[in-house]
Amino acid sequence: MATAQNKPMDLLRFATAGSVDDGKSTLIGRLLLDSKSIFEDQLEAVEATSEAKGYDYTDLALLTDGLRSEREQGITIDVAYRYFATPARKFIIADTPGHVQYTRNMVTGASTADLGLVLVDARQGLTEQSRRHALILSLLRVPHLVLAVNKMDLVDFSQEVFDKIHAEFTQFATKLNIPDLQVIPISALAGDNVVNRSENMGWYQGPTLMHHLEHVHVASDRDLIDARFPVQYVVRPKSDEFHDYRGYGGQVAGGVLKQGDEVVVLPSGMTSKIAGIDLFDKEIDMAFPPMSVTIRLEDDVDVSRGDMIARVNNAPTATQDIDAMVCWMTTAPLLPKAKLAIKHTTRNGRVMVKDIQYRLDVNTLHRDQETKQLGVNEIGRVQLRCTVPLLVDPYSKNRTTGSFILIDETTGVTVGAGMING
């Protein structure tokens, strides 16, 4: 496992965003095609459709437009996941629509991403939408951002055009929280700087998009200091062979846990030591994110689903008062006094909205304190009071223990996504 002799193939999850006409679907098609991840039958179907539509080129966008309604409208309407691999890495793309009313889909795609890829059309330069996409990626704490300046072929591969967009974006990015930014000039249609280095832009010295995706360092994005283990499931076989076995199944959300570590179980505050960590039928030395393991404790303390195992001197905050940025995802607005169900790690509760402090204008970053409500696809700072204490960290420190979803208790639908401040 972690001690593999040769370097194991790792995984990069990235989210793409762009407007309908920025060529995002074409770019993904290009990545899949040039990395030889497209199968012949898929390519043949797309070639046939392109021809039937009277195009004189193969419309790579058709490779990713999944649902029939999308094909009819010619736009991507929901988050779609794509997969490809190179000898260096496996990639999972969360392909999200760039269209204005679909902020919720972008938030969804960005929530699990290591890297965000924003596309702009070189002829248009930065638009409201590209700024909004960058802001959402920064709010969701996606640690790496790539701005791909597309359609360079249509501006004669001009360095001047590229430099201007580059400078403008860098200026805007200073207002955001983007630890790592890479700006790349490309042509998705022609393939320049996507997988193969462009012969038309000798002035560009940086990596191709694929090279960057293959080599961007993501392992250190995880928090390996603050041990967090939300208990998911109590494993009690009650069999003859494992009569007294009692283990706590879960996925490590932070830090490194080892046998013998002194731990505290929250919210009870009981302390114990880790007796052992099991991964299926093997006992392992240590567990770190994102491993799913079963932890046994030395003492017979009361532990159940929704509890969190942490270190004695380094525990999350147990609180019923939550201050968070909330992205609202349903048509009926979020109003003060609203009551909703909440799911945070493996813990469920109910919350009441105490206050909506401000609504964030995702285009200008302006904080609107007058509008005391959040409409669909709006993001704002919200104070919540929960029926049970939640065991939280700031989202900026831990994307697992710092996030939650809000659920409408009548419809059962997920209506909000929250990132805890602090």
Partner 1 sequence: MTETHADYQLSQLDQLEAESIHIFREVAAEFEKPVLMFSGGKDSIVMLRLAEKAFYPAKIPFSILQVDTGLDFPEVMETRDRWVQRLGINLVVASIDDAIKNGIIPDAAKISRNRLQIPTLLNAIEENGFTAAFGGGRRDEEKARAKERVYSHRDEFGQWDPKNQRPELWSLYNGRLHEGEHMRIFPISNWTELDVWDYIGREQIEIPSIYFSHQRRVFERDGMLMTETPLNPMREGEVASERTVRFRTCGDITLTGCVESTASTIEEIIDEVAIARVTERGATRGDDKFSEAAMEDRKKEGYF
Site for partner 1 in 236-255 (CB under 8 A): 236-239, 241-242, 245, 249-251
Pairing mode, if any, of strands 80-85 and 89-95? antiparallel
CA-based R_g, the chain, Å? 24
Separation between Cα atoms, residue 379 and residue 397, nearest integer Å? 20
* 285's tokens: 């030395």
Nearer to partner 1, 103 or 187 (CB): 103
**196 touches partner 1 (CB under 8 A):** no
Figure out which of the listed residues 47, 78, 168, 180 binds partner 1, where binding follows CB under 8 A: 78
**53 touches partner 1 (CB under 8 A):** no
The residue whose two tokens read 């525990």 is 315
Kindly state the smallest distance separating residue 89's Cβ from partner 1, in Å: 8
| H helical segments located in 174-317 | 209-215
- E strands along 226-330, which residues? 228-230, 233-235, 247-251, 257-258, 262-266, 270-279, 282-284, 286-287, 292-297, 308-311, 317-328
Figure out which of the listed residues 79, 146, 351, 390 binds partner 1, where binding follows CB under 8 A: 79
Specify the stretch interacting with partner 1 by CB under 8 A; choose among 9-17, 117-125, 193-201, 353-361. Answer: 9-17
Nearer to partner 1, 133 or 151 (CB): 133
Figure out which of the listed residues 50, 112, 182, 200 binds partner 1, where binding follows CB under 8 A: 112
Separation between Cα atoms, residue 206 and residue 270, nearest integer Å? 53
Specify the stretch interacting with partner 1 by CB under 8 A; choose among 35-43, 166-174, 195-203, 372-380. Answer: 35-43
**80 touches partner 1 (CB under 8 A):** yes
Nearer to partner 1, 171 or 292 (CB): 292
Nearer to partner 1, 281 or 302 (CB): 281
Figure out which of the listed residues 24, 82, 141, 359 binds partner 1, where binding follows CB under 8 A: 82
Site for partner 1 in 403-422 (CB under 8 A): 403-405, 407, 412-414, 417
**219 touches partner 1 (CB under 8 A):** yes
Site for partner 1 in 282-311 (CB under 8 A): 288, 290-292, 294, 305
**343 touches partner 1 (CB under 8 A):** yes
**89 touches partner 1 (CB under 8 A):** yes
Backbone dihedral region for residue 267 (phi beyond 0: left; psi -120 to 50: alpha; all else: beta):
alpha
Separation between Cα atoms, residue 50 and residue 150, nearest integer Å? 22
Nearer to partner 1, 27 or 152 (CB): 27
Q: Is 200 helix (H, G, I), strand (E, B) or coil?
A: coil
Pairing mode, if any, of strands 347-360 and 80-85? unpaired
Helix (H) or strand (E) holding 390: strand 379-392
**232 touches partner 1 (CB under 8 A):** yes
Count of residues in contact with partner 1, rule CB under 8 A: 81
Q: Contact at 8 Å (CB) between 218 and 145?
A: no
Site for partner 1 in 121-180 (CB under 8 A): none
**205 touches partner 1 (CB under 8 A):** no
- DSSP, residue by residue, 89-115: EEEEEEE---SGGGHHHHHHHHHT-SE
Kindly state the smallest distance separating residue 50's Cβ from partner 1, in Å: 14
Kindly state the smallest distance separating residue 283's Cβ from partner 1, in Å: 12
Figure out which of the listed residues 20, 34, 50, 66 binds partner 1, where binding follows CB under 8 A: 66
Separation between Cα atoms, residue 118 and residue 135, nearest integer Å? 11
- E strands along 3-128, which residues? 10-17, 80-85, 89-95, 115-121
Separation between Cα atoms, residue 139 and residue 376, nearest integer Å? 17
**397 touches partner 1 (CB under 8 A):** no
Specify the stretch interacting with partner 1 by CB under 8 A; choose among 87-95, 126-134, 372-380, 382-390. Answer: 87-95
Nearer to partner 1, 23 or 250 (CB): 250
**273 touches partner 1 (CB under 8 A):** no
